[in-house]
Structures are given as structure tokens and as C-alpha cells.
Amino acid sequence: MLAVAGAMTVGLTAPVAFAQPPAPAPFELGELVGPYPSDLPARGTYIGVLDGFTALRDSRPDIMDRNLEHTVAINNSADEATQAQALYDDNHARLDSLADAFGERLASVFREALADGRLPKVESLLDGYLARAGLLANSTLVEKQYWSNPRPFDVAPERIVRYHGDGVSGGADPYGDTAGTGSYPSGHTSQGYWTALLLADMLPEFAPQLLTRASAIGHSRVVLGVHYPLDVMGGRIMGQAAAVDRLADPAFARLVDAAGVELRGLLEAETGGPLADSAASTDAELYRDRLTYGFERSNPDLVNDIPPSAAVLLRHAAPDLTDAERLDVLRETAIDAGYPLDVAGPDGGWLRIDLVAAYEELAARG
């Protein structure tokens, strides 16, 4: 268990300390409408950063077989608590699931504030499928149609145990709406990660907890048998790229900053002290295990680099560093190249990013 966030000194572009939360004030309509350059990916779609899947499907039946076997093993071995978590994540908005990262007390405050309309900026940017930071470009619809990869419970229905809600988790049926649709990449995972990354940008003190919880949202999809590990790994790639697109857009990043002030004000007024003091430890090994899901390196000779644009993910965690220095942190903490889905060229390197390790490194530097 690692308490990395609690030891971290976090700087903000404009440091603030709230004894009382600021009065709720929604974005102006024009601010939400935009348009913003990042409303569409600069690369057009996320197919390029995800295209490591094509070579695996075409040329590595051994990896594809293991992809299914690993899914079956995770699905079949899920205990009741794991099943309940998976159904909860399926049937609740990603902000509701990610709230767990704040700890029991602040998660309750966060959820109540959302329900009461006291976080209008956060809600409009991050809550639900119509969240302004998401919209169609980040929905995975185009990417799923491109590969049309069948889901585990469609491919091997006799081997996948179907888990259904019991009222506690809302009576969710994860299978009815997904049958016959494409599995790669996982939309829940992508949305979970880009939402968690924007929250981490707002509140770097909770970044390791948010990232670990986002990884659990993806893992829940494998538990249910509606996605494979490679789908979840691809969802992380896409979620990271989507978050970078938003934060690298200065006009849109101002919206994220404003929502961050709103959220920080709510939580600091509740704690009465530095948020870092309220950040609980997190099992970062769970996050790391889900970076590669136990696959061996499929191309150990692959050479690539962390995409330079990813440096923006550390802008508020390391405000005194330059982009080049932040990129060096991501390079120093990256996993090895050559795991399944990793690619070379200008679209490569996204799989290698280990953001929890990057935050640990920043914490160690003080």
C-alpha cells in the first residue's frame, strides 16, 4: 500500500485556500458551446493510437487466445464483492464511481454536492455521456465500429458467467445493451480514465487514488465478461490521449481550471486544511497490474518514446517544471516498450505511461 499522495506537495497555477466554498456559478452558455479546437482530436480519430490491436488480431493468435482465457479466468473467479463492484460501475455514472478515490467522508460530500447542484462546473464538464469534456469524439463509437471485435460473452457464451443486479446495484443488465456490439476499445474504461485524469489535474493530491479507481472501472468490464483485458488497455490509451487533447487546448483548459477551483473550494471548506492531509493510501500495484494484465512483451525489440504532448498531464502536479522536464519524468517512470498494443512511430508510447509512478517520483523529489 502506497501513501504517495499524502506526502506530495502540490502547486497550482493560482494557489487558493477556502474556508467557505465559493457560491455555485455555472459556466456561461457561450463558454460551454465553444467551439474548442479539442472538440475533435487533432489526429481525426483515436484509431492511430489504438492500432496495435490490428497486428495482434491478424498475426498473434496466441495473444488473442490468452486475451480470452484471461477474461474467462477473471470472470469465473470473481467473488461476491468483486461482482457487486462490477455491477455498481456498470450501472452508475463514472463520477459516482470515481468519488471513492476521495475517501468515505469526502466522497459523500462530493456526491451530495453533485446531487444538490453545488458543483455546476464540474457537472457540466464531467458528468454523464453529454459531459462537455467528452461528447462524440471521446465516445469510442467510431473506434468500436472500425474493429468490430466481438465481445467475450458473444464469442464464448458457455464460458462466461453472467452477473446481474439485485437491486442494490440498480438491477443492471450489462449484456442486453452490448450484445452484438464491438468490444475494442472499452468505452467505460476510456471515459473513466479521461474523467479521472481531468479530476487529477484539478486535484493532484488525489491523482494516484483517482487513477487506481479508474483502472478498477476498466477491470469491472472484464469481471462482467463484456470486455477483454486488451479492450481495457486500449481504453486507457484512448482515455489518456483524450485527456491530453483537452488539457493541451488552452481555451478548454481554462474551463478545467475553473471547475477545479469550484471542486477544491468545496473539499477544502469541508476538511479545513490541506487536501493532501485527507488523501488515503492506495494500492498502486492494482493500477500497475492493469497496465499490461500479465501479458509478456510481444515485441521486446520495439523502440518508441512517450508522446511529448503527454507532459501536460503533470502541469498542476509539477507547475515549476517545464514541459520538457515533465516529459522526462514520464520517460523515467514509463514501463518497457513492446507490450501488446504498444506501437512505434508518432502514435506510439501511450501504453507505456505509468502515471502513478510519475506521481511517486514527483513526491520523492519533494
Answer yes or no: are the C-beta atoms of 260 and 201 closer than 8 Å. yes
Distance CA 147, CA 231 (A): 11
Distance CA 247, CA 8 (A): 22
Going by C-alpha positions, the residue among 6, 9, 35, 3 that lies closest to residue 318 is 9
Per-residue pLDDT tens listing for the chain (366 residues): 233 333 333 444 344 567 788 889 999 999 999 999 999 887 889 999 999 999 999 999 999 999 999 999 999 999 999 999 999 999 888 999 999 999 999 999 999 999 999 999 999 999 988 899 997 667 888 999 999 999 999 999 999 999 986 544 455 688 988 999 999 999 999 999 999 999 999 999 999 999 999 999 999 999 999 999 999 999 999 999 999 999 999 999 999 999 999 999 999 999 988 898 888 888 889 999 999 999 999 999 999 999 999 999 999 999 999 999 999 999 999 999 999 999 999 999 999 999 999 999 999 987
The 8-class DSSP code of residue 321 comes to S
Local structure of 2: helix, strand or coil = strand
Distance CA 158, CA 151 (A): 13
Instruction: Give DSSP secondary structure letters for 162-231.
Output: P----STT-S--TTTTTTTS--SS-HHHHHHHHHHHHHHHH-GGGHHHHHHHHHHHHHHHHHHTSS-HHH
| pLDDT at 168 (0 to 100) | 46
| pLDDT at 17 (0 to 100) | 66
Phi, psi of 99 (to 5 degrees): -55, -30
Distance CA 347, CA 310 (A): 12
| pLDDT at 165 (0 to 100) | 66
| pLDDT at 231 (0 to 100) | 98
The three cell numbers of residue 102 are 476521495
| pLDDT at 140 (0 to 100) | 87
| Residue 100 CB-half CA count within 13 A | 17
Distance CA 152, CA 227 (A): 6
| pLDDT at 139 (0 to 100) | 80
Beta strands per DSSP E along the chain? none
| pLDDT at 13 (0 to 100) | 39
Domains of the chain (ranges; CATH) run 43-365 (1.20.144.10)
In our burial notation (b when 16+ CB lie closer than 10 A, e otherwise), range 150-170 reads: ebbbbebeeebeebebeeebe
